[in-house]
């Protein structure tokens, strides 16, 4: 089958390679002249035989929306566009409607697999009309891992990106649990070889997973993570998952907490923790650290019931 791919970065470039290995004819476009097979989107469309299919793998948001709008001008009735980026599911209906005005089909595809997808295959969660999904199944089959797992037609337009959003929200929670377990093991006076503990969990335990395998790999490379700082960004899906939990009144305790932990990681000196320290000092006279020439610990007797150093709330 023939396919155009727009965006040949780590994911898009590897997808092009995997599809070519499976015997598909792939024409890629990228702004990097060392990677591209076409000079622009019009040239990409000209290099494809009708009915054409084009897979978009560019950053979510404006870049994807602009690319979809540009494709509406160079593609024709009967063609199909697939958005395989991490777009918010709410972008899919407007994209589909814009393309439908020209008779162009639309599929949203949540893609998981990262840089390992080239060899292992990509988990695909797609949304769209059945006739469009059926048309693209040879491509999906080549990209997904071998076997019965790794692909789902989740529903109509938007369902693929919605499923991927929830997938990434779960991923946040799993990573946070592994990370907290790591920190507790490091703090313990009983465990002498923390990396070995994680390695032992890779077989025969209920917590084994690909994420655990990757954590073990990271610990082999840097057992104490000395080369890293404790700063974690978020790419949006965790926030969107929590927003949906609020809209639908579905409690997401672990996923919400993991998102907030990422926010906390970006604070060198947490304002919230400063407020907590101040309150503990006010009601309980607990020691605080003040910034001066160094960190000086000073006792203050602020608040009710602090003459004895305790109050009804002092354990907080």
Residue 237 CA to residue 258 CA, distance in Å, equals: 12
In 3D space, the residue among 301, 147, 1, 71 whose CA is nearest the CA of residue 83 turns out to be: 71
Contact present, 36 and 62 (Cβ < 8 Å): no
Structure tokens at 104: 């162009």
Active site residue 164: yes
Residues 6+ apart with CB under 8 A from 118: 14, 15, 17, 18
Beta strands in the chain (DSSP E): 2-6, 25-29, 53-56, 80-83, 105-112, 123-127, 151-155, 288-291, 295-298
Catalytic entry in 119, 144, 148, 164: 164
Q: In what order do the strands lie in the sheet with 80-83?
A: 25-29, 2-6, 53-56, 80-83, 105-112, 123-127, 151-155
Active site residue 189: no
Catalytic entry in 171, 192, 244, 289: 171
Q: Which sign, positive or negative, has the C-alpha torsion 172, 176, 182, 183?
A: positive
Catalytic residues: 164, 171
């Amino acid at each position: 089958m023939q396919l155009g791919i727009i965006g040949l970065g780590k994911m898009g470039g590897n997808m092009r390679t995997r599809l070519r290995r499976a015997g598909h004819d792939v024409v890629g476009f990228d702004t990097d002249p060392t990677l591209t097979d076409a000079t622009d989107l019009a040239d990409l469309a000209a290099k494809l035989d009708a009915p054409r299919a084009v897979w978009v793998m560019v950053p979510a948001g404006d870049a994807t929306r602009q690319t979809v709008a540009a494709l509406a001008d160079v593609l024709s009735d009967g063609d199909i566009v697939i958005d395989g980026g991490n777009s918010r599911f709410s972008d899919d209906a407007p994209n589909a409607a814009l393309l439908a005005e020209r008779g162009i089909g639309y599929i949203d595809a949540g893609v998981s697999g990262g840089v390992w997808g080239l060899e292992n295959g990509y988990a695909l969660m797609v949304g769209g009309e059945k006739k469009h999904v059926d048309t693209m199944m040879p491509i999906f089959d080549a990209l997904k891992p071998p076997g019965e797992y790794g692909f789902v037609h989740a529903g109509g337009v938007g369902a693929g990106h919605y499923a991927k959003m929830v997938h990434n929200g779960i991923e946040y929670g799993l990573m946070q649990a592994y990370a907290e377990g790591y920190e507790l093991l490091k703090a313990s006076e009983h465990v002498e070889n923390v990396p070995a503990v994680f390695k032992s969990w890779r077989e025969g335990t209920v917590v084994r997973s690909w994420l655990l395998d990757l954590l073990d790999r990271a610990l082999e490379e840097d057992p104490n993570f000395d080369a890293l700082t404790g700063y974690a960004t978020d790419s949006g899906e965790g926030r969107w998952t929590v927003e949906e939990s609020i809209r639908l009144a579905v409690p997401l305790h672990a996923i919400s907490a993991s998102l907030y932990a990422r926010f906390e990681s970006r604070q060198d000196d947490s304002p919230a923790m400063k407020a907590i320290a101040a309150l503990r000092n006010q009601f309980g006279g607990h020691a605080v650290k003040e910034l001066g020439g160094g960190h000086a610990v000073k006792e203050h007797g602020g608040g009710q019931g602090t003459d004895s150093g305790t109050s009804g709330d002092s354990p907080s």
